Amino acid sequence: MEIALEAEQLGKRYGRRWALQDCSFQLPAGRIAGLVGPNGAGKSTLLHLAVGLLRPDAGTVRVFDRTPYDNPAVLPEVGFVAQDTPLYRDFTAAELVRITGRMNSRWDGALARERLAQLGIPPKLPVGRLSGGQRAQVALALALAKRPRLLLLDEPVASLDPLARREFLQSLMGSVAESGTTVLLSSHLLGDLERVCDHLIVLNASRVRLVGAVDELVAGHRQLVGPRHTGEPITGVGAVVRASHTGRQSTLLARVDGVVDPEWTVHDVTLEEVILAYLDEGGTRASHTEWEVPA
């Protein structure tokens, strides 16, 4: 199995604060992976380390088994769309396609122009005058025209309205299906990730809390409802991730590894429920608490 992106005990520190610490995972090639975590969890730091914009303070990160930092040979392999899709706002889309082509060795300008034409992006209008969704599509077109093997997207749709977000994700899915590009997509929008991703990395408090194929992660967790739980082992349960309690009853989201004790009622869970549990790992909430996607 080819590994597109790998981290081993990866860490990055700003002064005394670790923005990312003891981060270890493997992202197999060909996957579309969601990168999830609250603000300050280390998502942008991880992406900047993967694209070579930052140097690690601990551990290693490798892109197709090569170190990205200060390594020009890796740059053609990686496409990157940063937060807020930064572009030179005074340039037109056509000018950006020409300029970017001069800086990339295997540039496919025809692909970029075709994508922009299909989306109805005005080629001669300064990108600063385009809508947020159109600017995001220009940034994606430029990244894909590099023909990267790994595409890193840092909150590319956070500021878009639902229609623009759907169009962006549909465009992304169509492109990577044709090219086989590996994608790591950072987002707070769990519903979007559930629709497009087949792999998941959850960060919280600067560390990896969960990683793996989406189907396997969902299949490996269940909601259990039963008698008040005080921490004793439960047959068939590998770990309790999150618990909520009423007077005589407990509701647990748990990682299961066998047949669960029959005194517990077992329910399937969604990917969103699994993610939110790990974002509050070890926390205890009242049974009536409303869960929200972290902002």
pLDDT, tens digit, for every residue of 238-253? Answer: 999 999 999 899 999 9
The CATH topology of domain 3-214 is Rossmann fold (3.40.50)
d(CA 203, CA 205): 7
Would the pLDDT of 283 be above 60? no
Pick the closest to residue 133 from 146, 115, 121 (CA basis). 121
Residues of the chain with CATH 3.40.50.300: 3-214
Sign of CA dihedral 108, 111, 115, 118: positive
The model's pTM is 0.86
**Which tokens go with 288?**
């009536």
pLDDT category at 255 given cuts 50, 70, 90 is very high
CB within 8 Å of 244: residues ≥ 6 apart: 250, 251, 284, 285, 286, 287, 289
DSSP 187-230: -S-HHHHHHH-SEEEEEETTEEEEEEEHHHHHHTEEEEEEEPP-
Closest residue by Cα to residue 276 from 246, 244, 232: 244
